[in-house]
Structure 1
Amino acid sequence: MMAIPLRPRPGPVLVLVLPLLLSACAGFAPKRLYDDQIGYSGSLSDSQKAQTLLNAVRIRYGDSPVFLNTTQVISGYSLQRSLSGTLTILPGNNPANTVAGTPGVTMTQSPTFTFQPVTGAALAQSVIQPLSPAELLPLSLSGTPIDVLFRLAVQSVNGLQNSSMLDTANRTGSPGFAHLLINLRRLQIAGLVHFRLGQTESGGDPTKAAEPKDSTKAPTNLIISLPDSDDPQLQQVVVATRTMLGLSATRTEAEVVYGSGSPSPGTVSILTRPILGVLGQIASEIQVSPQDVAEHRTIPTVDDSAILSRPTIIIHNGDKPPHDAFSSVRYHDRWYWIADTDFDSKLAFSVMQTLVSLAETTQPSGTVVTIPAR
Structure 2
Amino acid sequence: MFGMIQIAMPQRPSAAMPLLAFMLLVLGGCQNPGPRAIEASRTDYNTAILETDDEQLLLNLVRLRYRDRLMFLEAASVTTQFSFGASAGAAYGYQSLARENSVIDGRILIEEKPTVTYQPLQGKEFVEKLLTRISLDTLVLLDGSGWSSERVFRVCVERMNDLRNATSADGPTPDHAPVFEDFERAAILLQELLELDMFAGARTSGEERSVIRFRPEAVELDQYKKLVELLQLDPNRRVYSLENTLDRRDGRTLSIRTRSFQGVMYFLSHAVEVPEADIAAGRVTATVGDDGQPFDWGTVTEGLMRIRSSSERPDNAAVAVAYRGHWFYIDDSDLDSKSTFSMLGQIYALQSSEVRVAAPLLTLPVGN
In 1, Cα distance between equivalents of 2:204 and 2:357: 34
Partner of 1:360: 352
Q: Is the 8 A contact 2:271 2:298 kept in 1?
A: no
> Distance in 2 between the 1:101 and 1:167 partners?
71
- For residue 60 of structure 2, what is the aligned residue in structure 1? 55
1:310 to 280, 283, 302: 302
Which of 227, 238, 242 in structure 1 is aligned with 2:215? Answer: 227
In the alignment, is the contact (CA less than 8 A) between 1:285 and 1:311 conserved in 2? Answer: no
Which deviates more from structure 2 when the two are superposed, residues 67-76 or residues 326-335?
67-76
> What whole-Å deviation, never above 9, does each CA across 1:250-304 have from its counterpart, x for those lacking one?
2122221112365445222111111111111111121112332222210236636
Return closer, same or farther for 1:373/1:260 CA change in 2, 3 Å cut-off.
farther
Question: What does residue 203 of structure 1 align with?
Answer: none
2:248 & 2:277 partners in 1: Cα distance? Answer: 41
Within the candidate set 69, 76, 79, 2:81 is matched to 76
Separation (CA, whole Å) in 2 of partners of 1:98 and 1:261: 94
When normalised by structure 1's length, the TM-score is 0.83
SS of the residue corresponding to residue 17 of structure 1 reads helix
Q: 1:221 to 1:288 in 2, by over 3 A?
A: same
3-state SS, counterpart of residue 285 of structure 1:
coil
What is aligned with 1:282?
A: 268
| Aligned-partner Cα distance in 1 for 2:182–2:219 | 24
> Which of these residues, 364, 369, 372, is aligned with residue 365 of structure 2?
372
Q: State the alpha-carbon separation in 1 of the partners of residues 335 and 31 from structure 2.
A: 43
Q: How much has 1:52 moved relative to structure 2?
A: 0.8
Give the secondary-structure state (helix, strand or coil) at the position aligned to 1:185. Answer: helix
Query: Is 1:21 the equivalent of 2:35?
Result: no
The answer to whether the 8 A contact 2:233-2:252 is kept is: yes
In structure 2, the CA distance between the partners of 1:157 and 1:362, relative to structure 1 (3 Å rule), is same
CA distance 1:352–1:345, shift in 2 (3 Å): same
Shift of 1:84: 4.7
1:162-192 Cα offsets, whole Å, 9 max, x none, are 1233574763323210111110111222222
What stretches of structure 1 of length at least 5 have no aligned partner? 200-212, 214-218
In terms of mean alpha carbon deviation, does 49-58 or 259-268 score higher?
259-268
Change (3 A) 1:354 1:319: same
1:197 to 196, 203, 207: 203
Q: Residue type matched to 1:336 in 2?
A: F
User: Residue 154 of structure 1 contacts residue 162 of structure 1 at CA under 8 Å; is this kept in 2?
Assistant: yes
1:346 partnered with 2:338: yes
After the TM superposition, which residues 1-374 of structure 1 pair with which residues of structure 2 at under 5 Å, given as runs? 7-8=11-12, 10=15, 11-24=17-30, 26=32, 28-85=33-90, 102-163=105-166, 164-165=168-169, 166=172, 168=174, 171-199=177-205, 213=206, 219-229=207-217, 232=220, 235-260=221-246, 263-300=249-286, 303=296, 310=302, 312-367=304-359, 368-374=361-367
Q: CA deviation at 1:363?
A: 4.3
Q: Using the TM superposition, give the Cα deviation of residue 53 of structure 1 relative to its aligned residue in structure 2, in angstroms.
A: 0.6
State the secondary structure of the residue aligned to 1:244: helix
User: Percent of counterpart pairs with the same letter?
Assistant: 22
Moved more, 17-26 or 131-140: 17-26
TM-score (norm 2): 0.84
Residue 75 of structure 1 aligns to a residue whose secondary structure is strand
Contact 1:158 1:261 in 2 (8 A): no
> Which letter maps to 2:275?
S
Q: Could you tell me whether the CA contact under 8 Å between 2:175 and 2:286 is conserved in 1?
A: no
Opposite residue 221 of structure 1, the aligned amino acid is R
Shift of 1:195: 1.7
Q: Distance in 2 between matches of 1:3 and 1:154?
A: 70
1:99 and 1:285, CA in 2 relative to 1: closer, same or farther beyond 3 A?
A: closer
Quote the offset at 1:152 in angstroms.
1.5
